[in-house]
Amino acid sequence: MRRFFSRVLLSALFLAPAAALLGGCGPESAHGANASTGGPVAELKWEELIPKNWDPTKRYRNISLEALRDNDPRAIQMLEEMRAVWDNAPVNVALDGRPGKLAGFVVPLDAAQDGIREFLLVPYFGACIHTPPPPANQIVHVIAPAPLRGLHAMDTVYVSGTLKAARYASADMGVSGYEIASAAVERFTPKQPQ
């Protein structure tokens, strides 16, 4: 497990940011209804959730990852340091309290016969389940007002509501930096090319 985890996490340091990994899951812009005003809600892009000056890879740019083996104490230390950095990733405080709509993938936190009420919204398929969690500023803790039937792990959805800067730590799934409570959740349907 550590071998898989360390390879994925260390290689992720030099891939495109997690925000770009949504890769066309959602349209460039879409609008939903704002529950408080009835007006349109702007769709947020995942990269907007990351503060512009945050760069978790700066410290590791001059390290040759190819020279490190998974069982090398330096690789293990880097993995642990990077996980701590990602779990404490800063949020974009300008978004705190702002209504918005975000497309992403579902990582259930509860699953009952009557549906899912709480889940993490993540920017790319497999996050927190098949691959390590992304940084906290790329995970949104979603709480629906009532259980959602027919929703499964890695389903693609739109979530609308007021984005709050709030930490939530799941023992198994990672740390989220944002929360949307009383969220409106709808299935994502891609726009058909015209």
Domain count, the chain: 1
Q: Has residue 193 been placed in a domain?
A: no
Q: Has residue 55 been placed in a domain?
A: yes
Task: Give the DSSP letter string of 106-143.
Answer: EEES--BTTBEEEEEEESSTTBTTTB----GGG-EEEE
Q: Has residue 94 been placed in a domain?
A: yes
User: 56: closest CA among 22, 8, 13, 11?
Assistant: 13
CATH of the domain at 137: 2.40.50.870
Q: Has residue 194 been placed in a domain?
A: no
Range of the domain at 45: 2-187
Contact 75, 69 (CB under 8 A): yes
**pLDDT value of residue 39:** 62
Q: Has residue 121 been placed in a domain?
A: yes
Q: Has residue 12 been placed in a domain?
A: yes
**pLDDT value of residue 38:** 56
CA distances from 115 to 138, 144, 147, 179, 189 (A): 24, 11, 5, 19, 21
pTM value is 0.78
**pLDDT value of residue 28:** 33
pLDDT tens, N- to C-terminus, the chain (194 residues)? 444 444 444 445 433 343 343 443 433 333 344 444 456 788 999 999 999 999 988 877 888 777 888 788 888 888 888 889 999 999 999 999 999 999 999 999 997 888 999 999 999 998 888 788 999 999 999 999 999 999 999 999 999 999 999 999 987 888 999 999 999 999 988 777 77
**Residues in contact with 87: Cβ distance below 8 Å, sequence separation at least 6, in sequence order:** 133, 135, 136, 169, 174, 175
